[in-house]
Amino acid sequence: MAELRPYLDGKALDGAKAVGLPHDATELAKWVPDDELGRVAAALVRVSLDKKLADKVRG
């Protein structure tokens, strides 16, 4: 049986790029435990929509 995982869409990948993470879905998924991928994807979408937050995350 195939396992399901959250999908890293364009918005999530935009967020990853904004904070200096890999912006290739396969590469980024390697950095994140399977059970945390949904949470990370949601956070990256939020960062992609909020430049001030992206600046804060980058430090």
Q: Which domain holds residue 54?
A: 10-58
Instruction: Quote the tokens at residue 18.
Output: 């904004």
Residue 30, Cβ density class (10 Å: 0-12 exposed, 13-18 middle, ≥19 buried) = exposed
Which pLDDT value is given to residue 4? 78
Does 2 map to a domain? Answer: no
Mean pLDDT across the chain: 92
Does 19 map to a domain? Answer: yes
Does 25 map to a domain? Answer: yes
Q: What is the mean pLDDT of residues 8-20?
A: 96
At 32, is the pLDDT very low, low, confident or very high (cuts 50, 70, 90)?
very high
Domain total of the chain: 1
Which pLDDT value is given to residue 2? 59
For the chain, what percent of residues have pLDDT higher than 70? 97
